[in-house]
């Protein structure tokens, strides 16, 4: 098993990519702490994993709350004695053309996608630094390259890329790898509402001519969280079916 007995904290695990990561990591031997603001979802996920013989805990948190995040990390370390892996996956979108985008839409996306990643990484880094081991995977997006109607989302994901580079430099001396996964179009609740005509236009821009499955994004997170990726840090890896090649 590639993550045997590793303690992995996954944000945004209530559905979609985050849930797929949690299930994949559990199957590879990790102790999974699934977090999301959707309490019912993560409690259900943890119960299912435990019923299948895996080890899991569901913790409802708001990643924009410093006190929530710090309490979560304290609970993980207090329960399991360590924290080995952080997957910063929690994110939202609030799309609108820039001229119509409200300050509330801007703030909501920046706070969850960027501030949330910062708060979680900062809190998780402390026990990782003490144990001289850790893996932090942040989540950007092909949207970081720019997309009409997503000024807030693109800015948040560009920020996550910059955060990744800086953390990789600061934490390398503690044997902590920090990388970033940038998915393209993926079959999730976030993309389920895209009209068919728009969806088809997006697919035409993807060389592999389809959206990713959440499990395919989870596989990349698994590799980066494993010791097979021990000499990889500060990298942004696009998992987008080749869509970013033309940028």
**Dihedral sign, Cα of residue 30, residue 37, residue 52, residue 222:** negative
**Angstrom distances, CA of residue 227 to CA of 1, 6, 31, 101:** 11, 11, 16, 42
Cβ atoms of 241 and 41 within 8 Å: the answer is no
Distance from C-alpha of 79 to C-alpha of 107, rounded to nearest angstrom = 34
Provide the b/e sequence for 140-157 (b: ≥16 CB within 10 Å): bbbbbbebeebbbbbbbb
The catalytic residue positions are 153
Q: What angle do CA 87, 126, 47 make, to 5 degrees?
A: 40
Greatest CA span in the chain, whole angstroms? 51
């Amino acid at each position: 098993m590639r993550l045997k007995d590793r303690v992995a904290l996954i944000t945004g695990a209530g559905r979609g990519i985050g849930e797929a990561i949690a299930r994949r990591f559990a199957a590879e031997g990790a102790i999974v702490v699934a977090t999301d603001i959707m309490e019912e979802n993560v409690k259900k996920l943890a119960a299912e994993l435990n019923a299948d013989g895996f080890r899991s805990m569901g913790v409802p948190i708001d990643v924009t709350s410093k006190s929530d995040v710090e309490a979560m990390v304290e609970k993980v370390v207090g329960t399991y004695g360590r924290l080995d892996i952080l997957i910063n996956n929690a994110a939202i979108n609030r799309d609108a053309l820039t001229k119509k985008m409200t300050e509330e839409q801007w703030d909501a996306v920046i706070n969850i996608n960027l501030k949330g990643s910062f708060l979680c990484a900062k809190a998780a880094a402390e026990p990782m630094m003490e144990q001289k081991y850790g893996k932090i995977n942040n989540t950007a997006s092909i949207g970081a390259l720019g997309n009409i109607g997503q000024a807030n989302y693109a800015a948040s994901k560009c920020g996550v890329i910059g955060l990744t580079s800086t953390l990789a430099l600061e934490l390398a001396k503690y044997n902590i790898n920090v990388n970033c996964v940038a998915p393209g179009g993926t079959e999730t609740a976030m993309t389920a509402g895209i009209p068919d005509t728009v969806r088809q236009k997006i697919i035409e821009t993807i060389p592999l001519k389809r959206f990713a499955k959440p499990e395919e994004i989870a596989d990349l997170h698994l590799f980066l969280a494993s010791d097979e990726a021990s000499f990889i840090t500060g990298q942004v890896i696009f998992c987008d079916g080749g869509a970013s090649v033309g940028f």
